[in-house]
Homo-oligomer: A and B are copies of this chain.
Amino acid sequence: MKPLVECVPNFSEGRRPEVVKAIAAAIAAVPGVRVLDHEADANHNRCVITFVGDPEAALRGAFEGAKMAVTLIDMETHTGEHPRVGAMDVCPFVPISGVTLEDCVSLARRLGERVAGELGVPVYFYEAAATRPERKALPDVRKGEYEGLKAEIATNPARAPDLGPLRLHPTAGATIIGARPPLIAYNVNLKTSDLSVAKKIAKAIRERDGGLPAVRALGMELKDRGLVQVSINLVDYKKTPPHVVFEKVRQEAAMLGVEVVGSEVVGLIPLEAVVMAADHALKLEGFTANQVLESRLSE
């Protein structure tokens, strides 16, 4: 399969559609880039642009997006409900096919060099690209937001950027760049209206409480259907794929005398995770995603 990287930069603009469009257009203008989606939220005053491309195209797309955001967004006047530190606030690279997470860490580093060097914006690396354990989690890097970081960046060594000047860019602030596996939003629905059942199962399966690796989970009500749901984020489907978490939820539910109604994938899912489920169900020998006819078309 053709090497393919997804990039999901978040920009601190969700109220001026013309700015969101200009940033998306700057990204889409890079040959080899395909913008799959962009969503803006006025309350958050933030937009998320999802695009894919070969690694070099993804890198250029992210840089062009950052450059346009630096030109058009002024953090000094920015307000919004969502935490943020800069114009291009966060930019993760995600391996989709034919590339590793390590390849995406390299892309993050190279983007960081360009953003710091050419745009004069201080850069922090997070998740798989983090340079120290305490910078892995995004909320930790973003603590204090634009205003807090502005006060501390020069004086508190713990807040010094990984690359770039020891001061925020006067209008664009800072940027947090990283690499992470694709996230799958996956829910399992249970045949009961008892929320405590969903909460118990969520606790049993999530990594934080000693459950399955790379699994985050919450119990929720589905009031319109009279059901409850275990709402799951699979943050690394190679560690725990959907079919493994499904089976675990089914077992936990059975122990509580509750049936699984079904499950749902919210948004997109990488082909490989679908193939893993089919592989498991059919006990396939030596099957790879390359045998899926449609995957040949992007070769």
Interface residues in chain A, defined as those with a beta carbon under 8 Å from any beta carbon in chain B: 4, 6, 34, 36, 52, 96-97, 182, 189, 242-243, 246, 260-265, 267-271, 274-275, 277-278, 280-287, 291-298
Contacts and interface: CB of A to CB of B under 8 A. Distances in A.
Q: Is the interface of A mostly helix, strand, loop or mixed?
A: mixed
Contacts of A261: 283, 285
B284 A281 contact: no
A282 B234 CA distance: 15
Contacts of A4: 294, 297
Q: Determine which residue in A6, A295, A297 has the highest number of CB atoms from chain B within 10 A of its CB, and name it.
A: A297
A5 to B, nearest CB: 12
Nearest to A266: B291
15 contacts: A189-B285, A246-B281, A262-B283, A262-B284, A263-B283, A264-B286, A265-B284, A268-B293, A269-B291, A269-B292, A270-B293, A270-B294, A277-B281, A277-B282, A278-B281
A248 to B, nearest CB: 12
Nearest to A245: B282
Q: Determine which residue in A270, A278, A283, A291 has the highest number of CB atoms from chain B within 10 A of its CB, and name it.
A: A278
Nearest to A286: B264
Contacts of A36: 296
A292 B268 contact: yes
B282 A97 contact: no
Nearest to A268: B293
Given A264-B286, A268-B292, A274-B275, 8 more contacts: A6-B293, A96-B294, A270-B292, A271-B295, A275-B278, A277-B278, A277-B281, A294-B294
A294 to B, nearest CB: 5
B298 A294 contact: yes
Q: Determine which residue in A52, A271, A278, A282 has the highest number of CB atoms from chain B within 10 A of its CB, and name it.
A: A282
A294 B296 contact: no
B96 A282 contact: no
Nearest to A298: B297
A106 B34 CA distance: 33
Contacts of A285: 189, 261-264
A44 to B, nearest CB: 24
A265 B293 contact: no
A285 B262 CA distance: 6
